[in-house]
Structure 1
Amino acid sequence: MSDINMSKIDNLNLEFLQLKDYEELKHAMIDSYSNLPDSYWREEQIKTLIDKFPEGQVVLKVNEEIVACALSIVVKYEDFSGQYTYEQVTGNYKFTTHDDDGDVLYGIEVFIKPQYRGMRLGRRLYDYRKELCENLNLRGIAFGGRIPNYHNHASEMTPKEYIEKVRNKEITDSVLNFQLSNDFHVSRVLKNYLDGDKASMEFAVLLEWDNIYYTKPVTKTTALKSTVRLGLIQWQMRPYSGFNELMQQVEYFVDAVAAYRSDFALFPEYFNAPLMAAYNKLSVSDSIRELAKYTEMIRNKFSELSIKYNINIITGSMPEIIDGQLYNVGNLCRRDGTIERYEKIHVTPDEQKVWGLQGGDKIQTFDTDCGKIGILICYDSEFPELSRIMAQEGMQILFVPFLTDTQNAYARVRLCSQARAVENECYVAIAGSVGNLPAVENMDISYAQSAVFTPCDFAFPSNGVKAEATANTEMILVADVDLDLLKELHNYGAVKNLKDRRIDLYEVSKK
């Protein structure tokens, strides 16, 4: 910092710019741009900005003296998707490009008087812009940033190479370094951006900041929820007289979690296995094919319940025969009446050997009224590629219905599910069955402790466990998860697992 005496600063205020401040503003600009002659806004231009968008024009005053300023407009960003100049984005400096219905706050001016630089005043101005962007529900901030040190390196490197060296701390550029440290990212290089900017060789860096709280306007009457309530059913394996008695127990659980205003109900894998008892005289492979005959009826009943109780139901999984082949499948029954199907991709050796199951081939995410979700059945949770593909598609909550017989089998599902929550910056809910089925071959015992897992960062439980049921006890588990916390983690977490991937070295993708 220069020769400012901090003890003589009685007050520092951020204020809206007013037209009566113009002469003082003009002289502050002249002081700030001494290397750019005649670089100050005319009074009629400032008046236009104040008239069009008063909250976008602010100044910082020290002891009632203007020492810094930020001027902004709102634009429809799609109008500036390619190369453009400063003259074009400002509407020939008349600000005709300002649009109250635009989606991006565009910065057209930030300056600080030289003797006040080094006091972090620029950060105050940018913090105000970010807050304004959030309050107006704009999707972000953008501006063309000067690179005034580039002229010293123009003969030996391109602007792109220069930017990369600044980012890697090999070259110092006070302006660009400041923008990057304030969470702005480089989008592209703009050529011939600011006429007469010889220090930047008339190049500019298009810098952007994303508003993680931005909510895209929707035509539906309800917006996506931020806090989502999950209802997990830890199902007791017990004998049932038939389909009706089984579904009576299903409805009891749906009613129970819906009474707590849950948004989702999650059932375990093969929760309907007790119905196989009626076919114990058959071979194991034949009895599960008999069980598959109930799947369509159960799916239809689940859909009725989802509408009746206003809850999205993840139906665990059931056997289903398609073109003579046996699969392990489930359904997402939304409360609006729509149904989607998911498949177990990796069947266990036992499922394949004893029952003759085939692995599915659908890897997908699902849009719901509570955000984008993914569903993996039991063993699938142990293959990180599946959930990574889903995370790349925007998954926020991963549901894992499972069935495990022993404690070590359960530990595999639990530990892998916790890893999926950390590495994909998402919530993971697992639900399984408990108890014994002495009358059903190959389904003798079940062990489970249903739970909701979170990433491990300051906004979440330190051990990554949001809630967990009592082991091996029939019960429901209800837990709230905050989707906004995932957005904050993605942008400001202690580590950023998704952003820090070295996609220059590796990638995970569908075939």
Structure 2
Amino acid sequence: MYRKELYVFEKGRPRRAVVRNYTAEDFDELIQIQAESFPPPFPSELWWNREQLTNHVTLFPEGAICVEVDGVLAGSMTGLLVAFDPAHPEHSWEEITDSGYIRNHDPHGDTLYIVDICIRPSHRKLGLGQLMMQAMYELVVQRGLKRLLGGGRMPGYGRYADEWTPEQYVERVVAGEVQDPVITFLMRCGRTPLQVVENYLDDEESRNCAVLMVWNNPFLRG
């Protein structure tokens, strides 16, 4: 099981942090963090439930990551393994994650797919998302997988939907003309846009669109 102890900094003050796998003892707090992290208009039925979390720690515990700061659970990230075909990238979040239940987890898959990431609002701007993403990159390398992949919401797109296509919006985010809370964050974590997918998730802010964001294993060739 994964456990990394380190420091994060808040206004120059170091705070002790631990990145580790989450367990059943964390479920109640993880559900509360989901509620705090994804308030309306995000659909509340997409918050974790105990059955989903039980599947995460049972079917693929290595992909169930959380972070604590000074002993307080502050965020989580979840993944599963899939066999990804770059020639046929279209999919929805429900399809590829089994609606978050990950019963389709493929132990022989070549791609670590990120199901979800959330950080408690009170603990944002500490770099916790990047820490958990790094843990997932390490898992990709350890397992010899081809890539890490996931659909990034584009919540800033709604303000420009009458002017730009989703692809044009992403181009402007990549060019630095627009900052998107999710896409820009994922780029800072080292991921790059692969393709816009429509009807990815019931998400009015993103007009139901998402961007597949990839991190290729740098130790593999071809």
TM over 0.5: yes
Whether the 8 Å contact between 2:17 and 2:69 is mirrored in structure 1 is yes
1:208 and 2:198 matched: no
**Structure 2: how far apart are the matches of 1:70 and 1:92?**
15
**Aligned mates of 1:26, 1:20 — CA distance in 2:** 12
What CA distance in whole angstroms lies between the structure 2 residues aligned with 1:79 and 1:163? 19
Q: Secondary structure in 2 aligned to 1:192?
A: coil
**134, 149, 159: which is aligned to 1:142?**
149
Larger radius of gyration: 1
2:121 aligned with 1:114, yes or no?
Answer: yes
Q: Which residue of 2 aligns with 1:53?
A: 60
The alpha-carbon distance between structure 1 residues 118 and 80, as it changes in their structure 2 partners (threshold 3 A), is farther
Say which of 11, 16, 29 aligns to 1:11: 16
* C-alpha distance in structure 2 between counterparts of 1:84 and 1:149, whole Å: 21
Residue in structure 2 matching 1:29, options 28, 34, 49:
34
Give the aligned residue type for 2:128.
Answer: L
**Cα displacement string for residues 324-380 of structure 1 (whole angstroms, at most 9, x for unaligned residues):** xxxxxxxxxxxxxxxxxxxxxxxxxxxxxxxxxxxxxxxxxxxxxxxxxxxxxxxxx
Shift of 1:5: 7.6
- 2:85 corresponds in structure 1 to 78
1:427-460 alpha-carbon deviations (Å, 9 max, x no partner): xxxxxxxxxxxxxxxxxxxxxxxxxxxxxxxxxx
SS in 1 for 2:205: coil
Percent identity, aligned pairs only, is 28
Cα distance in structure 1, aligned partners of 2:187 and 2:86: 25
**C-alpha contact 1:80 1:89 (8 A) present in aligned 2:** no
Q: Distance in 2 between matches of 1:34 and 1:134?
A: 34
* 1:98 is the counterpart of 2:105: yes
Match of 1:185 in 2: 192
Query: Counterparts of 2:60 and 2:161 in 1: how far apart (Å)?
Result: 38
Task: Give the 5 Å matches for 1:283-294.
Answer: none
Quote the residue 2:4 is aligned against: none
**Shift, 1:78, TM fit:** 2.4
Q: Which runs of 5+ in 2 are unaligned?
A: 1-9
Distance 1:6 1:29, change over 3 A: farther
Structure 1 segments (4+ residues) deviating >4 Å: 4-7
Aligned CA distance change for structure 1 residues 79 and 20 (closer, same or farther; 3 Å): farther
The structural deviation recorded for 1:186 is 1.2
Query: Superposed, which structure 2 residues align to 1:27-426 within 5 Å?
Result: 27-35=32-40, 36-38=42-44, 39-78=46-85, 81-195=88-202, 197-214=203-220
- Quote the Cα distance in structure 2 between the aligned partners of 1:181 and 1:31: 23
CA distance in 1: counterparts of 2:145 and 2:209, whole angstroms:
27
Query: 2:35, 2:75 → 1: CA distance?
Result: 12
- Cα distance, 1:165 vs structure 2: 0.7
Report the alpha carbon displacement of residue 102 of structure 1 after superposing the two structures with TM.
0.5
Q: Which deviates more, 206-215 or 142-151? A: 206-215
- Tell me how far apart the structure 1 counterparts of residues 49 and 193 of structure 2 sit (CA, whole Å): 30
Change (3 A) 1:146 1:80: farther
Alpha-carbon displacement from aligned partner over 1:260-288 (angstroms, at most 9, x marks no partner): xxxxxxxxxxxxxxxxxxxxxxxxxxxxx
Structure 1 residue 6, shift from structure 2 partner = 7.0
Q: Deviations over 1:29-66 (max 9, x none)?
A: 11111122424111011111111111110110112211
Q: How many pairs are equivalent?
A: 211
- Aligned residue type for 1:20: E
Alpha-carbon distance in structure 2 between the residues aligned to 1:143 and 1:27: 23
Counterpart-to-counterpart distance in 2, 1:187 and 1:37: 26
**Aligned AA for 1:18?**
T
Please give the secondary structure, in 2, of the residue aligned with 1:69. strand
* Equivalent-residue separation in structure 1 for 2:34 and 2:87 (angstroms): 27
Residues 149 and 212 in structure 2, CA contact (< 8 A), matched pair in contact too:
yes
Matches of 1:211 and 1:111 in 2, distance apart?
23
Is the alpha carbon distance of 1:153 and 1:79 closer, same or farther for their aligned partners in structure 2, counting shifts above 3 Å? closer
Distance in 2 (alpha carbons) for counterparts of 1:167 and 1:189: 13
CA distance in 2, matches of 1:65, 1:6: 19
* TM-score (normalizing by structure 2): 0.89
Structure 1: which 5+ runs fail to align? 216-393, 395-511
Query: Deviation of residue 79 (structure 1)?
Result: 8.9
Please say if residues 143 and 208 of structure 1, whose CA atoms lie closer than 8 Å, have aligned partners that are also in contact.
yes
